[in-house]
Structure 1
Amino acid sequence: MTNLNDDLAGALDFDFSMDEPLTASAAGDAAATPVVRDRQRHLSLFSRIPVTLTLEVASVDISLAELINVDNDSVIELDKLAGEPLDVKVNGILFGKAEVVVVNDKYGLRIIEFNNKDLSELTQ
């Protein structure tokens, strides 16, 4: 966890750790219910935080001189092959790979691979 998360947890008296089990005991006794309710409350807090999800087709580095010469009929070659999975970014940080699908006449994306980064890295 980052220091910011620790500061928020201390200020709000929340434990943002997702490493603990959902219940207080493996036996499933009555003491488990408050722990589950606390976890749900913490998750509901996170569910209201907006993030920007971006599907990136490809990128390319070009010189400013090349960019100045771009007009309506210009073609700029990108760095991905046709059919390769596209990058899914959350707040500009790579989250996974996806393919484009069509859902009710609108574009959508099907996640095919997740990045192994910790969720806290997406907030930096």
Structure 2
Amino acid sequence: MSDSLDALNFDDDDLNFGQFHLDESEESAVNEEAPKSERDLSFFKNIPVTVTLEVASKELSLGDLMKAGEGSVIELDKLNGEPLDVKVNGSLLGHAEVVIVNEKYGLRLIDVIDSALTSVG
């Protein structure tokens, strides 16, 4: 039984990794990082999103809101002429102004927040 145990024991000298050879293509893959290719993100173009133009907002208590009735005025947090917030699915994309196109309201983007677009890519 001790002979079988001796057969399982070996020294570092018994290992010879010099016998293993990699192909040139395998060596370059091991030695160099593969160049990062751009991901094809075209499938994102078909995902529907909701674009909202937010004029302004105001935080108030439910009690104050319940007191409001026809003709009540609630002062909002934006001044006249300030750019409006453009939100996509609730997240701020940038700022815009209101325009009228073919008898419908539209928006003209004034600025787009960089982090809103770069987080996708």
Category of TM-score, reference length = shorter chain: 0.5 to 0.7
8 Å CA contact retained: 2:99, 2:108: yes
Aligned length: 85
CA distance in 2, matches of 1:94, 1:81: 19
String of CA shifts for 1:58-89, please: whole Å, max 9, x gaps.
Answer: 01011111100010110000000011000000
Which runs of structure 1 show a deviation greater than 6 angstroms over 4 or more consecutive aligned residues? Answer: none
Specify the code of the residue in structure 1 equivalent to 2:60. I
| Alignment counterpart, residue 94 of structure 2, candidates 67, 91, 96 | 96
TM-score of the superposed pair, with normalisation by structure 2: 0.63
Unaligned runs of 5+ in 2: 1-35
Quote how far apart the aligned CAs of 1:120 are: 6.8
Alignment of 1:24-39 (within 5 A): 39=40
Deviation at 1:119, TM superposition (A): 3.2
Partner residue in 1 for 2:113: 115
Q: In structure 2, what is the Cα distance between the partners aligned to 1:121 and 1:87?
A: 19
| Superposition CA RMSD, Å | 2.2
Using the TM superposition, give the Cα deviation of residue 117 of structure 1 relative to its aligned residue in structure 2, in angstroms. Answer: 1.2
User: What runs of 5+ residues in structure 1 fail to find an aligned partner?
Assistant: 1-16, 21-37
Correspondence 1:63 to 2:61: yes
Partner SS state of residue 117, structure 1: helix
Name the CA distance, whole Å, in 1 between partners of 2:92 and 2:112: 9
